[in-house]
Structure 1
Amino acid sequence: MFKNITLALSLLLAASSLYAEPAKNENSKKDKYHMFPEAKAGYERYIVDVPKTDNDYDHKIELLIGKNLMVDCNHASLSGKIENKSLKGWGYHYLEVSDIQRGPTTMMACPDSKTEKFISIRDTLRRYNSRLGTVIYAPKGFEVRYRVWSAGDTVKQAEQR
């Protein structure tokens, strides 16, 4: 009789542990990035977490690294260096932004006064990774914004000439 009760309790405990939820805390988002270093002096660490998709290869991320500046009607941009760095021992990569300065601008005569606008570095489209987001280290005083680009379902054949 004692064996049956012990066996029943063991099965009950094993079954209940299957349905137990893992503990959640405020830092659960940060936990998957624990291997990335803290930002060095003068830098901030940004993480772009994107939602899971059926096919990450159909999406790209455009990073907009910049700040709000007073500009006139001319098209303004920033220039800088965005380096892809390897996280030694992990096989992961992160981006480090440096040498940000005012970039080229058009030279139109602007009758209007200056307005505040978000001006950014021109960057290429980056890989969309819903499993591990993109980690960016940018100088303090700059923001990291992003847009998600998605491919359509239609694939067209090029015309041979």
Structure 2
Amino acid sequence: MLLRAWRDVAGARLVILGDGPERARLEALAGELDIVDSVEFRGMVTDVSEYVRSADVFVLPSASEGLSVSLLEAMASGIAPVCSAVGSAPELIEDGNNGLLVPPGDVPALTTALRHTIENTTWRLTAGAAAHTLVTERFDLDRVARHLADLYQDILQR
């Protein structure tokens, strides 16, 4: 889905991290779509942080997803996310405020969301800052620890 959407995104570079059984198929698809010059397959990397720091957009076009640690990391780093509306993404992303949500499998919607995010620098930076704020407030260690302590206390009192 991402590569098909990327075909209609101009003037940007897509870096794909990770390795697996689909990599050869995806590299071949990039060739078929004639986007090899704008897509870089980096494979498995041990330090993702350097890529996160240099990214303008985080894209997670999953068909299904749980609580994505990579999404949380990107948001905490102030990177505007564009994600399929699956799993925890709709709970974390306020569509249009701190990122964009697209229906799973909807290539035209993903293309539109990517182009909007890449072409609108002010919105992208504002959304990234809002994403950072949400994650740091909601997942602050002290806050989570207090919540768990309250939850355990409530259970013990029953």
Shared topology, TM-score over 0.5? no
In the superposition, the TM-score normalised over structure 1's length comes to: 0.24
Q: Which has the higher helix share?
A: 2
Decide which structure has the larger Cα Rg and report it: 1
**Higher RCO (C-alpha 8 Å, min separation 6):** 1
In the superposition, the TM-score normalised over structure 2's length comes to: 0.24
Q: Which has the higher strand share?
A: 1
